[in-house]
Amino acid sequence: MSSMMFAGKVAMVTGGGSGIGRAVCRILAREGARVVAADVNSGAAQETVDMLVNPSNHLAVSMDVAEKVSVSSAIKASVEKFSAPPSLVANAAGITRDNFLLQMDEKSFMDVLDVNVKGSFLVTQLVAGTLVEHGLNEGAIVNLSSIVGKTGNIGQCNYAASKAAVKGLTKTAARELAKMGIRVNCVLPGFTKTPMTATVPDKVIETMLKLIPLHRMADPEEIAEVVAFLLSDKSSYMTGTCIEVTGGLSM
């Protein structure tokens, strides 16, 4: 028997083309999962799959998490490839559209809610529904919230609201899906080195680092390892939890 944590499992990672999602794909593949890297940027999803050992064991799919039809067809593609729906899901797709509250336009506010909240909802609903249809009484879903969803952040009223909503979604889904054998948890990363934070001005980074007890940003792998733990049987008695991974920022 394989000692790999995810041997034989099918795992879908949204936002799998970049940053934390890509790091999650690498860990899941290393531990034996057949990975579906799903991203609105299908070229980036393919790049992720090409980085994995035996790319043909995995699948890159184009998916806009904010569009039900797109989520549904990506799930269908993974069922076709692996003859089974994904029983592990990491919802890592996310966007920012920062501005001060007084200047925030309605579209920027709603675009962030569409991808970060509605996207996590649609993927959770459609994957859970597919697992039930296939008679599988098992699954684990991890949503990427953010520490900003707990603390708020200047310039991010849309993003902070979306990430607080992801916590509420996680806890409700955990309560409703427990009877179907599906656990749902979330991770609240702090300041992590990915393309999402690449445009943050040096001055802001310096100020942030002073506030973080570990005095550095996280590498995406440091967030992804916690996501993998929550997807694994090592967390079999955990559901509805939100784990902060912030270098001590939020103590």
Terminal alpha carbon distance of the chain: 41
Q: Where are the alpha helices (DSSP H) in the chain?
A: 19-30, 42-51, 68-82, 106-113, 119-133, 148-151, 157-177, 202-211, 220-231
Rg of the chain on CA atoms, in Å: 17
In the set 6, 109, 159, 191, the catalytic residue is 159
Work out whether 63 is an interface residue with ligand NAP (CB under 6 A): yes
Judged by beta carbon, residue 132 or residue 196, the one nearer ligand NAP is 196
Site for ligand NAP contains 15 (CB under 6 A): yes
| Among residues 13, 14, 48, 226, the one that binds ligand NAP under rule CB under 6 A | 14
User: Site size for ligand NAP, by CB under 6 A?
Assistant: 30
Nearer to ligand NAP among residue 20 and residue 173 (C-beta): 20
Residue 161 makes CB contacts below 8 A (sequence gap 6+) with 113, 149
Piece of 5-13, 57-65, 125-133, 167-175 that binds ligand NAP (CB under 6 A): 57-65
117 binds ligand NAP (CB under 6 A): no
Report the nearest approach of ligand NAP to the CB of residue 91 (Å): 7
Q: Which is nearer to ligand NAP, 84 or 200 (CB)?
A: 200
Longest CA–CA span in the chain (Å) reads 59
User: Is there binding between residue 121 and ligand NAP (CB under 6 A)?
Assistant: no
Cα–Cα nearest to 1, from 32, 45, 35: 32
Catalytic-residue membership of 159? yes
Distance CA 108, CA 99 (A): 9
Determine if 235 is a binding residue for ligand NAP (CB under 6 A): no
Give SS3 for 23: helix
Decide if residue 8 touches ligand NAP (CB under 6 A). Answer: no
DSSP 132-182: HHTT---EEEEEE--THHHH--TTBHHHHHHHHHHHHHHHHHHHHHGGGTE
Contact characters 140-179, ligand NAP, x per CB under 6 A:
----x-x---------------------------------
Least distance to ligand NAP from the beta carbon of 144, Å?
4
> Cα–Cα distance between 53 and 183 in angstroms, integer?
28
Q: Catalytic positions, please? A: 159
What residues make contact with ligand NAP under the rule CB under 6 A? Answer: 14-15, 17-21, 39-41, 44, 63-66, 92-95, 115, 119, 144, 146, 189, 191-192, 194-197
